[in-house]
Amino acid sequence: MRARQPRIHGCRCGWSVCGCSAAGSLPAGLGTVNCDPVIILFFADVVGKPGREALIERLPGLREQFHADVVVANGENVTEGRGIKPAHAEALLTAGVDVITTGNHIWKLRETYRYLDQQERILRPYNFLKSNPGRGLTVVESAAGRLGVINLCGSLYLCPARSPFEAVTEALEHLHGLRNILVDFHAEATSEKVAMGWFLAGQVSAVIGTHTHVRTADACVLPGGTAYITDAGMCGSRDSVIGVKKDLVLERFLTQLPVRFEVAEGDVWLEGVVIELGSEGRAVRIEPFEIAAS
């Protein structure tokens, strides 16, 4: 269990969700402040060595800055953009990530299969075959309470074994009684992600979209207290096409011939969302962030 960071009221952390402002008074419109909220930091798809090293380097400071109780990161692209090998997953967990979610790239590295069975803090989508290695949900303990995390894969263009809507209903039965629940919905189609947000509104604390690597401008709290964003973005190079060297992607589009992709390196940013949960696991605020790696 991780030691909880003390809350410093009236601090200058720069994020309004902690209930402070530069003058130490409540931001306009905030109303009553939950004295003991749960703060979740979610990092969008971490791409290759640039994204991985930036997250490892910056995470301890960011945990403190945001008063984060739990950190979740999508790691499906951590190892050269395709999958995540155990050593890289362990490095993220050691740096302060509490739960690693993944997606359609999780099966790219066979060495990860056994690791998925052994490490409870890394997930593959819940709606893959039940016979597949690993698990699709977990519960992480923190000083702020327990957080359930469910990883799902969209059915449009990605073809998981089972409907994410049917599967998440089953997953929630396993988490019955838990108030704080975050869902990483790793999906291609915006329509499917928006639909999942409405499907789970009032049932979970947060539905966070991943996979497209392009952050959307629709972060909100849905009725019933469910934080939502269609896509949280990417942790990686912006001098790229969604994390891949742009010249290689252009070559593929222009020639329509196979091209081996490589991870881009320049202009690295960390993107994601920070979420505040109030009573009964209901989200009261979600704010996207973008942080330059250097």
Contact residues toward Fe ion (CB under 5 A) are: 45, 76-77, 103-104, 211
Residue 139 or 293 having the CB closest to Fe ion: 293
| Marked catalytic residue, from 105, 186, 211, 213 | 105
Q: How many CB atoms lie within 10 A of CB 157?
A: 11
Strand pairing report for 268-277 and 38-43: antiparallel
Min dist CB 115 to Fe ion, Å, is 19
Residue 158 or 293 having the CB closest to Fe ion: 158
Min dist CB 174 to Fe ion, Å, is 24
Q: Which of 274, 114, 119, 117 is nearest to 208 (CA)?
A: 274
CA distance 280 to 178: 9
Would you say 82 and 117 are in contact if contact means Cβ atoms under 8 Å apart?
A: no
HSE-CB at 269 with a 13 A cutoff on CA atoms is 18
- Name every residue whose Cβ is closer than 8 Å to that of residue 23 and which is 6 or more positions away in sequence: none
Q: Which of 92, 35, 89, 99 is nearest to 67 (CA)?
A: 35
The closest residue (CB) to Fe ion is: 45
Decide if 105 is catalytic.
yes
Min dist CB 157 to Fe ion, Å, is 10
Min dist CB 199 to Fe ion, Å, is 21
- Name every residue whose Cβ is closer than 8 Å to that of residue 247 and which is 6 or more positions away in sequence: none
Q: What is the dihedral of CA 217, 222, 228, 229, to 10 degrees?
A: -20
Residue 81 or 86 having the CB closest to Fe ion: 81
Residue 77 or 101 having the CB closest to Fe ion: 77
Catalytic residue list: 105
